[in-house]
Amino acid sequence: MSETGDYDPEIYDLLQPASLGGDLEWYRRLAERTGGPILELGAGTGRIVLPLARAGLEIHALDRDPKMLATLRRKLDGEPDEVRQRVTVIEGDMQSFTLPHRYRLIQIPFRAFLYCLGREAQLDCLSCCHQHLVSGGLLALNVFHPSLEYMGRSSGYLEGVWRWTRDLAHPAGGRVVCSECNKYDTAGQRVFSKLRFEHFSDEGSLLSTHLMSLELAYLHPGDLRELLGEAGFTEVRIDGDFEDRPLAHDGDELAVRATKP
């Protein structure tokens, strides 16, 4: 069994569909509207990066995990020359990057901003984004809206209880069974999660187990507005999905946009 605080690239790609609730289409619309160059923070294995590059956009892909970036580079090797030339892969930390370029759009998909734990780290990331945007440039990110109902399923005697979430066919054969347990620190606005991925053969033998431990922040809309304002952003817009619908439900996804004046 392996345990890590990072995603295994193979498992990550297995779990993620091409678009999560319409996020790919949302980021692509923003990218086409603003034009390149684009900087993506928390780029991972390129789920968003590659479709944008195929659409003709120049994009720089930053991530701190060398294994995820190695997978992105392998994927790029299979792309046409014109797509490869549009992508620059950068190993770095979204809280403390210094790059020579200035961007029209900086995007932080798939809740990656929540890896910034605490106000100081969040402001460090947003300040770096502000510094690297051109005047009038756009910052776009998405995070989950803290759901009281969901938290209630992992509080009291239910705290830390393992739950099956899904199982998936593995490309090499067999199935991957996914389960998780969660614990919330409501005072510190943190969620502590363990994710377990068990690969079984078609005959039911356990082939491997991968265990991930994650710590994420969670933020309410008011927190986001305050942080973005303090970092120098204006025209903050927070929707409840990727179709520009106003926030209306406890479990909505927060699609956030803000402008550098």
CB-based burial of residue 144 (10 Å sphere; 0-12 exposed, 13-18 middle, 19+ buried)? middle
DSSP type of residue 246:
B
Q: What are phi and psi of 202, to 5 degrees?
A: -60, -25
Query: Average pLDDT of each block of 10 consecutive residues along the chain (261 residues)?
Result: 67 89 98 95 98 98 97 98 98 98 98 97 98 98 94 92 95 95 96 96 95 96 98 98 94 96 97
pLDDT score of 181: 97
Domains, the chain, in order of start with CATH, read 15-145+219-259 (3.40.50.150), 148-217 (2.20.25)
> What's the pTM value of the predicted model, to 2 decimals?
0.95
Considering only CA atoms, give the Rg of the chain: 19
Nearest to 196 by CA among 183, 174, 216, 181: 181
pLDDT score of 7: 76
Nearest to 101 by CA among 72, 67, 59, 65: 59
pLDDT score of 17: 87
pLDDT score of 4: 55
pLDDT score of 222: 97
